[in-house]
Amino acid sequence: MFAKPQEEHSWLEQLIGEWAVETECQMGPDQPPNKTIGRMNCSSLGGVWLIAEGEGEAPEDGVWKSVMTLGYDPEKKLYVGTFVASMMTHLWLYSGSIDESGTKLILDTEGPKWEQEGMTRYQDIVEIIDEAHWVLTSQIFGEDGEWNEFMSSHHRRSK
């Protein structure tokens, strides 16, 4: 019954630590970029789950908090996880894999469209730059059939 960490779980260990976070988010073509600063603490839950707890402040929107979980499901042969944040009501469910370079975890998910009813495809991409820096980018699948990046969050190790 007790799960044992798989080789794939070791990829997530790169994220364990305390991080200073700088985020820039573009919420629409006619909107100015929204910049926030914050911090994130990433810890391991039994070697099979990464728990990433974030918090920060946006000048116009105030304080926010978020929780991301990431793990590997050996039956599905996919990385899986969730994301919730204090500024939204949607529970994001992830599934994805590591790209060919070995530096990017590409997580597919589905969420609400921005300015209309219904759901659409999104991707969150965790990219390891080096042992002290990783980037989380978010993109939405547009009506034009292209992926459009709208958020980039740089994490720099503080501990």
- Give the domain CATH number at 148: 2.40.128.20
Cα(9)–Cα(19) distance, rounded to whole angstroms? 20
Q: At a CB cut-off of 8 Å and minimum separation 6, what does 21 contact?
A: 36, 37, 38, 39, 40, 54, 56, 153, 154, 155, 156
Tens of pLDDT, residue by residue over 103-149, are 999 999 999 987 778 999 999 999 999 999 999 999 999 889 999 99
Question: For residue 1, what pLDDT is reported?
Answer: 66
- Count the domains in the chain: 1
- Is 52 a member of any domain? yes
- Is 151 a member of any domain? yes
- Is 58 a member of any domain? yes
Mean local confidence (pLDDT), 5-9: 94
Whether 159 shows a pLDDT value over 70: the answer reads yes
Q: Which residues, in sequence order, are bridge partners of residue 128?
A: 134
Cα(34)–Cα(72) distance, rounded to whole angstroms? 32
Instruction: State the residue for tokens 């790169």.
Output: 14
- Is 3 a member of any domain? no
Q: At a CB cut-off of 8 Å and minimum separation 6, what does 12 contact?
A: 44, 50, 70, 71, 72
- Is 50 a member of any domain? yes
- Is 37 a member of any domain? yes
Q: State whether residue 104 is helix, strand or coil.
A: strand
- Is 4 a member of any domain? no
As given in the structure block, the two tokens for residue 121 are: 């495809």
- pLDDT confidence tier of residue 33, bands split at 50, 70 and 90: confident
- Is 13 a member of any domain? yes
Q: Are 153 and 23 in contact (CB under 8 A)?
A: yes
Domain that holds residue 143: 9-25+32-157
Mean local confidence (pLDDT), 26-45: 87
Tens of pLDDT, residue by residue over 52-98, are 999 998 767 778 899 999 999 999 999 999 999 998 999 999 999 99
Question: For residue 130, what pLDDT is reported?
Answer: 97
Output the pTM of the full model.
0.93
